[in-house]
């Protein structure tokens, strides 16, 4: 045994050295590819920033101008204060839309998920199956009757069609929270029952603190989705005063006289809060995407 | 329902009294009631109603008038824009979905090697996913300007002739696909990366001991284990790309033709115009229903073929 090992040692050392060299070259190649792709993904951001700081005459030039001269910081002041793009009003509308829907989906989905995960009742499995099925449902088939319904209710032209449904649960969020709640040990909730707590108390005092990470994932994901939602506001909102940021940006673009440099500044301002949030809560974004994509597995 | 009752009974735990059990069920119904209302009002009713609307002439202001299958007849036989929108959407879906999956998977595999700087790459690839469609299209309109855009000037360096992008009937759809790739690949990559991390190291080592090289390990270990993820994202990708709207809508503005020669007239765009510009709710419902049934059919076909397909991938290549 010992002799066999001794015989092998020099050869193994050489093998290992060769392996390490291969590994090194391999990782350089991988880095080169990944870095080039990263540049391709990031260049548009860089170009938007540069363009947003240019005098309008320098936006489209040959050769390209990489450093604007002079650097027009005033573009931002102009873009964010022009009557064609009322940033503070649009931001306020967006925040209203984002905050109400996030509260709505968190409350409703948590309560529904609690029943599906922790309570026994006839029809529970059927309801869960239906919930799963609706997760895959393309929105296109419900679009028009839903619009007609809201039109009949007189809600078109208000935020109600965009906000009210979120207070009645959302299939994916219910599913996600149910999965998280299933993992909570029964002893924890049973102990609370014995102490005489009812389900509302248990949900609020025992379960919610334990699923906070999942709630944060849902909140962050909802914020991102609603912040960028274009179709909903497009069909349901009528007045420019009501528009959220993305709709305001679209309206800004449809004015023919608008300068590209200002439009780039406005575009950046529209994404900026979300990008900040991403850097603060990156973990929850990535977890959210991962969970969305893996839900079928 | 009978099944649900049975499983309910089998879950019964003796520590609860009958009374307690009934109270538990009542509490549960109270808790799920918003969701049941939502399923009835925002899912079941609209689904049934869209069958009805699709057989009517309806402009929201006046009550719907029954027209039988006229909408479908007009759609399939008389409306040239309908088939154009189908063609455009198929073009978009057939290229953007496989390409997105492929690039996302490749990037995930590269990121899954034991190398540094994963955080930076992950952020760089994902960041475009945060940009709303409106801002994304505006940004790419600057980048893809036919005469003086950054992309064309870069390509000119390599002798590539100027491309018209959004202003050319041939290149408008590739431009839209490019935008979708830029915005969507990061998310796909993250999903694949998570799935790759789930693959047990022991399986890889076992394959290595059996003498499998890198490519063989990928084909016979990684790919089969990833196939559920690939499959699921394929279905989601198809559903999403069939309903592409925002980028096409912003790129074409409020003009009457959607891009040069209607080359960006996507299915959802035509549906939107019929529903919310011309208020042909009946016709738009027929369009929605046709798309829905097509998606259901495609999904079922894919689901049915999936076991064989995955098996074929795993065992068919020696």
Q: How far is A11 from chain B (nearest CA, A)?
A: 19
CATH number of A76-294: 1.10.3720.10
Q: Is A63 on the interface with B (CB under 8 A)?
A: yes
- Give residue B285's pLDDT: 97
Domains of chain B, each with CATH number or no CATH: 2-53 (no CATH), 80-315 (1.10.3720.10)
Contacts with B, A 94-133, CB within 8 Å: 108, 111-112, 114-116, 119-127, 130-131
Q: pLDDT by residue (tens digit) across A273-282?
A: 999 999 998 8
Least confident of A31-35, A154-158, A166-170: A31-35
Q: Give A-chain residues touching B225 at CB under 8 angstroms.
A: none
More confidently predicted of A51 and B228? A51
Chain B residues near residue A290 by CB distance under 8 angstroms: 190-191, 194
* Rounded average pLDDT over A88-111: 97
Least confident of A6-20, A85-99, A193-207, B57-71: A6-20
At B307 the pLDDT is 75
More confident residue, A191 or A114: A114
Q: Point out the residue among A35, A122, A247 whose CB comes nearest to the CB of B25.
A: A122
Residues of chain B neighbouring A111 (CB-CB closer than 8 A): 31, 34
Q: What percent of chain B has pLDDT over 70?
A: 91
| B318/chain A closest Cα distance in angstroms | 26
| Residue A18 contacts B where some CB pair is shorter than 8 Å | no
User: Residue B281 and residue A144: Cβ atoms within 8 Å?
Assistant: yes
Q: Is the separation of the CB atoms in A199 and A137 below 8 Å?
A: no
| pLDDT tens-digit readout, A69-96 | 899 999 999 999 999 999 999 999 999 9
Instruction: Give the pLDDT score at A7.
Output: 56
Q: Does residue A288 surpass a pLDDT of 50?
A: yes
pLDDT tens by residue, A257-271: 778 999 999 999 999
Q: In chain B, which among 112-171 make CB contacts under 8 A with chain A? A: 113-115, 117, 120-128, 130-135, 138-140, 142-143, 145, 147-150, 153
Contacts of B135 in chain A (CB under 8 A): 246, 249, 267-268, 270-271
B chain contacts of residue A292, beta-carbon cutoff 8 Å: 191
**pLDDT score of A13 more than 70:** yes
CB contact under 8 A, B126 and A63: no
Q: Do B194 and A271 touch (CB under 8 A)?
A: no
Q: Which residues of A touch B126 (CB under 8 A)?
A: 278, 285-286, 289
pLDDT < 70: residue spans in chain B: 1-18, 309-318
| Chain A nearest CA to B38, separation (Å) | 6
Nearest of B42, B81, B49, B61 to residue B285 by alpha carbon? B49
Question: CA of A6, closest CA in chain B: separation in Å?
Answer: 22
pLDDT for A135-154, tens place per residue? 888 889 999 999 999 999 99
Interval A142-171 mean pLDDT: 96
| Region of poorest pLDDT, from A103-117, A145-159, A192-206, B172-186 | A192-206
Query: Does A271 contact B135 at a Cβ distance shorter than 8 Å?
Result: yes
């Amino acid at each position: 045994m010992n002799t066999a090992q001794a015989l092998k040692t020099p050869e193994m050392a050489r093998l290992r050295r060769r392996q390490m060299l291969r590994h090194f070259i391999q990782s350089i190649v991988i880095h080169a590819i990944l870095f080039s792709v990263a540049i391709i993904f990031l260049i548009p951001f860089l170009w938007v920033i540069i363009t947003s700081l240019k005098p309008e005459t320098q936006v489209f030039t040959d050769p390209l101008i990489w450093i604007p001269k002079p650097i027009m910081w005033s573009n931002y002041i102009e873009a964010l204060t022009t009557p064609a793009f009322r940033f503070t009003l649009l931001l306020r509308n967006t925040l209203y839309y984002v905050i109400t829907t996030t509260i709505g989906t968190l409350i409703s989905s948590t309560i529904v998920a609690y029943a599906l995960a922790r309570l026994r009742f006839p029809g529970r499995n059927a309801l869960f199956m239906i919930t799963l099925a609706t997760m895959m449902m393309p929105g296109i088939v419900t679009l028009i009757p839903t619009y007609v319904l809201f039109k009949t209710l007189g809600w078109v032209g208000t935020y109600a069609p965009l906000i009210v449904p979120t207070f009645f649960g959302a299939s994916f969020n219910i599913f996600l929270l149910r999965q998280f709640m299933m993992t909570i040990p029964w002893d924890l909730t049973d102990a609370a029952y014995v102490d005489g707590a009812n389900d509302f108390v248990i949900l609020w005092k025992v379960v919610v603190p334990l699923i906070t990470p999942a709630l944060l994932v849902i909140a962050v994901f909802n914020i991102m989705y609603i912040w960028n939602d274009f179709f909903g506001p497009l069909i349901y909102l009528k007045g420019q005063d009501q528009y959220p940021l993305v709709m305001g940006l679209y309206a800004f673009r449809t004015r023919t006289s608008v300068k590209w440099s200002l439009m780039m500044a406005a575009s950046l301002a529209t994404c900026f809060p979300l990008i900040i949030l991403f850097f603060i809560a990156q973990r929850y974004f990535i977890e959210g995407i991962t969970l969305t994509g893996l839900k079928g597995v | 329902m009978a099944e649900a009752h049975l499983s309910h009974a089998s879950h019964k735990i003796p520590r609860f009294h009958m009374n307690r059990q009934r109270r538990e069920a009542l509490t549960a119904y109270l808790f799920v009631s918003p969701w049941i209302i939502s399923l009835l009002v925002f899912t079941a009713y609209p689904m049934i109603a869209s069958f009805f609307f699709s057989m009517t002439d309806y402009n929201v202001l006046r009550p719907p008038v029954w027209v039988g299958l006229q909408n479908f007849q007009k759609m399939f036989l008389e409306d040239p824009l309908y088939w154009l929108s189908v063609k455009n959407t198929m073009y978009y879906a057939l290229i953007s979905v496989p390409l997105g999956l492929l690039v996302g998977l490749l990037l995930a595999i590269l990121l899954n090697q034991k190398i540094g700087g994963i955080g930076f790459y992950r952020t760089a690839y994902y960041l475009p996913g945060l940009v709303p469609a409106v801002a994304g299209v505006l940004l790419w309109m600057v980048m893809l300007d036919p005469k003086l855009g950054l992309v064309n000037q870069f390509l000119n360096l390599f002798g590539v002739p100027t491309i018209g992008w959004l202003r050319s009937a041939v290149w408008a759809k590739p431009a839209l696909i490019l935008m979708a790739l830029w915005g969507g690949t990061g998310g796909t990559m993250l999903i694949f990366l998570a799935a790759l991390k789930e693959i047990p190291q022991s399986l890889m080592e076992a394959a290595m001991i059996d003498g499998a090289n890198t490519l063989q390990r990928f084909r016979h270990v990684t790919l089969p284990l990833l196939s559920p993820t690939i499959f699921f994202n394929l279905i989601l990708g198809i559903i999403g790309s069939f309903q592409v709207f925002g980028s096409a809508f912003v790129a074409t503005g409020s003009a009457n033709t959607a891009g040069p020669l209607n080359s960006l007239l996507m299915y959802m765009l035509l549906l939107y115009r019929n529903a919310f510009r011309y208020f042909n709710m009946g016709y738009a419902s027929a369009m929605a229903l046709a798309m829905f049934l097509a998606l259901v059919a495609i999904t079922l076909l894919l689901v049915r073929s999936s076991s064989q397909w995955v098996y074929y991938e795993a065992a068919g290549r020696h």
